[in-house]
Amino acid sequence: MSSKTDAQFYLICLLVFLCPSVELEAQLQMGFYGTSCGMAEFIVKDEVRKGFIRDKGVAPGLVRLHFHDCFVRGLNGCDGSVLIDSTPSNSAEKDSPANNPSLRGFEVIDNAKARLEAVCKGVVSCADIVAFAARDSVEITGGLGYDVPAGRRDGRISLSSEASANLPPPTFTVDQLTKLFSNKGLTQDEMVTLSGAHTIGRSHCSSFVNRLYNFNGTAGQDPTLDSQYAARLKTMCPKGSTDPNQVVPMNPSSPSITDEDYYVDVLRNRGLFTSDQSLLTDKTTANQVRQNARNVFLWKTKFASAMVKMGQLGVVTGDAGEIRANCRVING
């Protein structure tokens, strides 16, 4: 065998060896539905717009829906499993205490899916609809728009227990958050960046009431919580209340705008959750909070990039999974 032939042979072997890696990186594609369903992203954007007009809380709900979809299911992350309804024999992710009753925006996904099935039957996955809707929600609230690589397939398994085991509770410390995000392939800086999603939306009182009345079993309030802010929260979340519908804005000054005010509030000791305020307990994350508070364009740029990366966690592609006809039910 000549040296030229040898070189060609080894090059082919190398390419074959690398093929799986190349395929992995190319699993999702920009403009994936360009020829198969060219109106896909427009239809989703239109449904997000209509939902936002009816209820501005839909936008933060859809961003959170995407996060809660991607962080669950281990190797199969962003697979639309968060949309599946429970059955008599299975409690699904959406009914986990980590998701119910706080998750919202399902009707927007349903409406988009119904329209897409009417024009492109069996083509657009529910998982991609969630990813598109999250991007459109960021954009409609003042964040930066970004291209979403698509081609996700829908998973067929949804377990309440997996949601509880994989989603960060509001009581997490910065070290616990860092470890959880690292386990998902996300850096500490990306964790701080994605925490900025709390700039929009609302929270049920039950997620932070321990900071007001019984912090660490002391029967007092969290000493790191700004006293004036705590007093305001107590008026909205009275001690001993069992009303499950009591909610407060996570970023009171601009609850429907994607901006830097979340980081400004954290610096003022007005982070709503323990996990928010804990970002100041580490020198590196505290510096990142300050940077994001000072430079909103930088944070918005980093946030868009982090959302794209998060949206590729454990995706199901190719011939795996399915394209659900109804996002709430696996195909028969």
Task: List active site positions.
Answer: 68
**Angle, alpha carbons 298-299-301 (nearest 5°):** 65
Q: Which of 212, 261, 255, 210 is nearest to 233 (CA)?
A: 212
Query: How far, in whole angstroms, is CA 170 from its chain's centroid?
Result: 15
Contacts of 287 (CB under 8 A, 6+ apart): none
Report whether 62 contacts 127 (CB < 8 A): no
Strand ranges (DSSP E) for 36-89? Answer: none
How far apart CA 4 and CA 90 sit, in angstroms, is 60
How far apart CA 255 and CA 277 sit, in angstroms, is 18
Bridge partners (DSSP) listed for residue 34: none
